Amino acid sequence: MSNAISSFISGFRGGTRKNRFKVSGTFPSATSADTKLNFHVLSASLPNSTLGIVNFPYRGRLIPYVGDRSYEPWDILILDDRGADGLYKSFQGWSEEINSQAGNIHSMSGTDNWFSADNELIQNDTWSIDQLDLSETSIKKITLQGCWPGFISPLQFNMAETGFNSFAVRLNYNFIKIDTIN
């Protein structure tokens, strides 16, 4: 193995950048769907999944076996905008449809209905994050299946601060699909 700089450069191929990503998703049809996600998501990360361990006792020792997979919620930070159809309103509307604050009922309807004719839970909303190379081509894509917002942070107001306002959203989901793997 050579320690030359050219060997390092040819093996590294430029690396990836933290600021090259794109988030896309769909809101239920009754909310004010917004197409600004690609520009207004300030930060996101690929979601974490963990394979659990089930220990079986055997002659005084614990033998580990692979257990169930669990997924951590997915956090994104979004730049607030002024529009009447803004992202904050869209996420709040989605949350309201899942469980209204005044009536404590869901109002999902049509293709966004959370329950089928057999009363089985349906969640078709998918969100994805693409990691992009320097030419804006996707090099990794993770798709989250069955998403719904579990937490929407408040908008913070402070007369002593300048700059733009942002808010965080925590999306829960059923499972992930990784392009080129499944």
Instruction: Examine residue 95 and state whether it is found in any structural domain, yes or no.
Output: yes
Instruction: Examine residue 58 and state whether it is found in any structural domain, yes or no.
Output: no
Instruction: Examine residue 5 and state whether it is found in any structural domain, yes or no.
Output: no
> How far apart (Å, rounded) are the C-alpha atoms in residues 114 and 94?
12
pLDDT, one tens digit per residue, over 132-146 is 888 888 888 999 988
- For residue 41, the one-letter residue type is V
Q: How many CB atoms lie within 10 A of CB 176?
A: 19
Phi, psi at 16, each rounded to 5°: -115, 160
Instruction: Examine residue 89 and state whether it is found in any structural domain, yes or no.
Output: yes
Q: How high does pLDDT run on average in the chain?
A: 80
**Exposed/middle/buried for residue 39 (C-beta within 10 Å: 0-12, 13-18, 19+):** exposed
Which two tokens mark 25?
């998703």
Please determine, for residue 182, whether its predicted confidence score (pLDDT) is greater than 60. no
Instruction: Examine residue 30 and state whether it is found in any structural domain, yes or no.
Output: yes
Q: Which residues of 63-87 are buried (b: 16+ CB within 10 A; e: fewer)?
A: eeeeeeeeeeebebebeebeeeebb
CATH number at residue 123: 2.30.110
Instruction: Examine residue 56 and state whether it is found in any structural domain, yes or no.
Output: no
Q: What band does 80 get if pLDDT is binned at 50, 70 and 90?
A: confident
Pure H helices in 13-154: 37-40, 87-98
Instruction: Examine residue 147 and state whether it is found in any structural domain, yes or no.
Output: yes
Q: What band does 107 get if pLDDT is binned at 50, 70 and 90?
A: low
Our count of domains for the chain comes to 1
Instruction: Examine residue 25 and state whether it is found in any structural domain, yes or no.
Output: yes
pLDDT, one tens digit per residue, over 3-15 is 788 777 777 766 7
Q: What is the pLDDT of residue 62?
A: 95
CB 76 within 8 A of CB 23: yes
Q: What is the pLDDT of residue 35?
A: 54
Residue 88 sits in which domain range?
17-48+63-178
